[in-house]
Structure formats: structure tokens, C-alpha cells
Amino acid sequence: MTSYAEKLYLRRAAMNFAALAMSGVATAFGLFWLVWILWTTFSNGVSAMKLSLFTEMTPPPGSDGGLLNAFVGSLMMSGLALAIGTPIGIAAGTFLAEYAKRSVLGETIRFVNDILLSAPSIVMGLFVYALVVKTTGHFSGYAGALALAFIVLPVVVRTTDEMLQLVPNQMREAALALGVPQWKVTLQVLYRSALPGILTGFLLAFARISGETAPLLFTALNNQYWASDMSKPMASVPVVIFQYAMSPYDSWHALAWAGAFIVTLFVLALSILSRAVLRRAKTL
């Protein structure tokens, strides 16, 4: 081998080694921050855990209390948001997969839906503010739920569309050949087959809205007291975390960490569950 070829070879090998080593470093770097963040949340959250979190209301400045009204508010608003967003999302996803297909209308809706999926959530809050809060004249739990519903919608549309497209065409053809009308094919054959996938979308949407803060800031606002009336301002865990973390009181900081810890656990559990459901769906 000439010395030139040898040099070239060595240079290429060195370049290769350096690049691959850097990729390992980048992965370690990326994971380092994420592990640090999780660790901070867990250690601060665990030390702030106590039973009164679930039995007491959010406290006035500087004193001790729990997060009960925030948990209830979050669950009620998320529940309503899912109740509004999921059926509309499933219907729209079905329209895309079964009727619109690759037509211009279908592709346009898909495009718009994908943009909604990544659009800043604060924008949805402003939208619902203009739509509901401004017209009714006051903040309310309903407005918060509606803002969350607009975040649920694109997630469910996307997964329903994708999952229905995975259903083998033979199923549609077999059912249609028996003379079953298309709406019945959809409801009784396709949904049954795509159910785990659609459930995944539901769980992902639930995980997504559990930690959403921005759209609630000026729709549901906040409420320091017990409130199960959704036509009034309502507390939610993320907004309480935001408010308490920005405050100067240590007891509020502890509550914020406890809330953050529970929300993180909840979101991780939902994501893992949705993955498990999806994996089972794909092996079936």
C-alpha cells in the first residue's frame, strides 16, 4: 500500500470513529437532561407526598393544604373534553379513512388535522376564550373542557384514520358482499377490528391533556375553593402547579412538586398503557 492510500484509510477510519463516538456522546447528552428532569421531579415529588394532598383543598398563601379541588377539576374537565373530542374525532377519522380517502378534501382535512396536532396549545386557549369566555362574560370549567377538547380532537382523528387504514380490505369486501350496508360495516366490523388502535388514540389524548396548562389559563382560570359547578371558574392541577411554582412560598412549592410528580406519573402510565394496547393490537 502506498503511504497516500494508507493515510487516506487512516483518515477515514478516524473520521468514522469520531463521528460514531460523537453520536454516543449526543445520546448520553440528550438522555442526561431528561434523566435529570425526571429525577428532580421524582425526588421533590416523593418528599412532598402526603395523604392530605387528596383530602384537602388548595391552601391560601403560605399555609398548608392539599390539591383535592385541583384533582377533581382536572378530572372533570378532562372527562368532558374526552367526551366531546373523542366521538367527533372518531367520526372525522372514519370519514377520512372510509369515505374521503385520498381525495382532495380528505388530504386537506388530514393536512389541517396534522397542523392542529402540533399547533401551540395556547392558541386553542385564545380561540376558546374568544368563542366562549368573551361571549358568556365569565371564565368557566366548560370553557376549559372545550379548549382541551380541541387538543383531544386531532389526536383521535389521526389515530382513528391510521388504524382504520390498517384494517384489511377483505373484511370490508366480505361484509359488503353479504349485503351489509356500509354504515353497519363500519360500526360492526371495522370498529371492532380497529378498536384497540382507537383506544390508543383515546389514551394518548388523555395523556396529552393531563398536563396541558396553557389552554386552561384563560378559559377555566383557577379556583381556590371546592367547585364542582363547571359553569364557574375551576381549578386544575397544571394551573395550580404553575401558580404555586411561581409563588414565593415554600409550602406552595412543595405542593407544586407533588402535583408535578403525580401528573408526570399519570402521563407516563397512560403512555405506557397506550403502547401496550397498540402492541397487542398489532400482533392480533
Partner 1 sequence: MTTELLPDPSMGIDDARARHDARADGFFRGLIGTAGIFVLLSLFGAAAAMLWGGREAFQTFGWHFFTSTDWDAVRHQFGALVPVVGTLITALIAMLIAVPVSFGIALFLTEVAPLWMRGSVATAVELLAGIPSIIYGMWGLFVFVPVMANTVNPWLTTHLGPLPFLGPLFRGPPLGIGMLTAGIVLAIMVIPFISSVMREVFLTVPSTLKESAYALGSTKWEVVWRIVLPYTRTAVIGGIFLGLGRALGETMAVTFVLGNAHKLTVSLLEPGNSIAATIANEFTEADSDIYLSSLVALGFLLFVVTFIVLAIAKLMLRQIERREGNV
* Span 115-134, contacts to partner 1 by CB under 8 A: 115-116, 118-124, 126-127, 129-131, 134
Positions 167 through 196 that interact with partner 1 (CB under 8 A): 181-183, 186
**Is residue 264 near partner 1 by the rule CB under 8 A?**
yes
Give 249-267 as a DSSP string: -HHHHHHHHHHHHHHHHHH
Taking CB under 8 A as the criterion, the residue among 6, 46, 49, 108 binding partner 1 is: 108
Helix (H) or strand (E) holding 137: none
* Matching residue, cell 415554600: 250
Distance between CA 213 and CA 237 in Å, rounded? 9
Q: Are the CB atoms for 249 and 93 separated by under 8 Å?
A: no
Interface mask toward partner 1 for 206-235; x: CB under 8 A: -xx-xxxxx--xx--x--------------
Taking CB under 8 A as the criterion, the residue among 10, 15, 49, 83 binding partner 1 is: 15
Positions 233 through 252 that interact with partner 1 (CB under 8 A): 238, 241-242, 245-246
Shortest distance (Å) from residue 118 CB to partner 1: 5
Q: Which residues contact 145 (CB under 8 A, 6 or more apart)?
A: 76, 77, 78, 80, 81, 84, 220, 230
Shortest distance (Å) from residue 277 CB to partner 1: 15
**Is residue 152 near partner 1 by the rule CB under 8 A?**
no
Q: Between residues 26 and 55, which has the closer beta carbon with respect to partner 1? A: 26
Distance between CA 115 and CA 70 in Å, rounded? 30
